[in-house]
Structure formats: C-alpha cells, structure tokens
Amino acid sequence: MNTKVILGILVLVLPLVCIRSVCDADGFDSVRCGSDVRKALLGRKMPNEKIAVLEERHKDLGLKDLGASEISDRLSVISWRICGEEYVLLEDQDVVRDVLKFPKHSKESPGFIGSCQLNGRDVPGTAIGVLKNENGAEILPAVSAWKIDDKQMKFVELKTEELRCSRAGIITADGGL
C-alpha cells in the first residue's frame, strides 16, 4: 500500500480509537492507591451507571459505595471507600468539586450529615463530620466537622468548640446509637 493511503487510514481511525477510550473513562480511572486521591478526583466527571458495575471495574482500588445525600437540586455528597480509606465527594451535576478524606468513625464516634448549632444557635447550611456519642442526648458534640459551602462548592472546616449536631443526621453504618 502507498504511504499516503496508510497515513490517511490512520488519520481517520486513530481519533475514533482515542475518542472511544476517553468516552469509556470515568472519574476513578486516574486514581491509584498510594497517590493523592483528592487531586486525582477533583474536576473529574463521574459516571452515571450501576454501582456494582463501577465497583467491579475498579476492584484494584477496593472501590465501595458507602452512600450519598442530596444537598440541593445540583449538589450531592457521595461517600466512597477507596484504597481502604473513606472519601466524601462533593459533586455538582456529576462533576467532582471537592474531596474530603473522611475521618474514621464508629458507634462511639458516629459520622453525620445534617444540621448543627454553635453556642445554641443554628449554623446555616449542611455540615458533615464525626460526633461524640452521648447516651440519651439528641444534640451531640462534634469531634470534627465541615460545612458544605454550596456557593463555592467546597468543604469548609468548622471549629468544633461548642459545636453540637443533631443525632438525626447520623449516617454511620452501625447507626451510632
């Protein structure tokens, strides 16, 4: 075959192959265990497909869906176990805007998402973090917490001194009760 014909075929076929691989990519394709997971996920488009398919495709990451909460009609927080750690992704219409490496939590220190009070006054917006469990108390002290800034689409760390949050927002798998 003539060199020009081969070159012409490559020019036509190569973009199709490249486009196909880009279309099949998802936000987790750039993540590697031992690397900066936050950096790898920021700005990535997340797939809208069955969780089981996604988890199977990324077995190398130990990917596991831990649940999600809708913050507004545009924003969601989605928790994932990635490489043995928990990460919370703040997504704006399937694009990752911020990533939080979520602290360990348990029945004694349950994870939560919901409303909080600082010195007895409501903190506007939604917070996420870890509480200290106190038997019988409906409002629990925060061990660590972040406010979800829906305008800047970021997690903003909150000072926990005098910060108390509703037990109703507990999301820990064991219920934290």
Return d(Cα 106, Cα 99) in angstroms, integer: 21
User: What residues contact residue 16 under an 8 Å CB cut-off, 6+ apart?
Assistant: none
Percent of the chain with pLDDT over 90: 72
Average pLDDT over residues 55-75: 94
Handedness of CA 150, 151, 155, 158 (dihedral sign): negative
- pLDDT for residue 22: 42
Q: Whole-model pTM?
A: 0.82
Q: What is the pLDDT of residues 1-26, one digit of tens each?
A: 566 655 455 555 555 444 433 445 68
Average pLDDT over residues 24-31: 84
Q: Does the pLDDT of residue 127 top 90, yes or no?
A: yes
Q: Does the pLDDT of residue 175 top 70, yes or no?
A: no
Among the residues of 25-111, which ranges form H helices?
Answer: 37-41, 51-57
Query: How many CA within 13 A on the CB side of residue 22?
Result: 6
Average pLDDT over residues 100-128: 94
- pLDDT for residue 1: 58
- pLDDT for residue 177: 44
- pLDDT for residue 21: 39
Average pLDDT over residues 72-82: 94
- pLDDT for residue 136: 85
Q: 170 phi and psi, to 5 degrees?
A: -65, 130
Q: Which segments within 54-138 are labelled E, that is strand?
A: 64-70, 75-82, 85-92, 95-101, 111-118, 121-131
Looking at the DSSP bridge assignments, the partners of residue 164 are 117, 141
Comparing C-alpha atoms, which of 54, 99, 62, 67 is closest to residue 82? Answer: 62
Q: What is the pLDDT of residues 135-159, one digit of tens each?
A: 888 999 999 999 999 999 999 999 9
End-to-end CA, the chain: 74
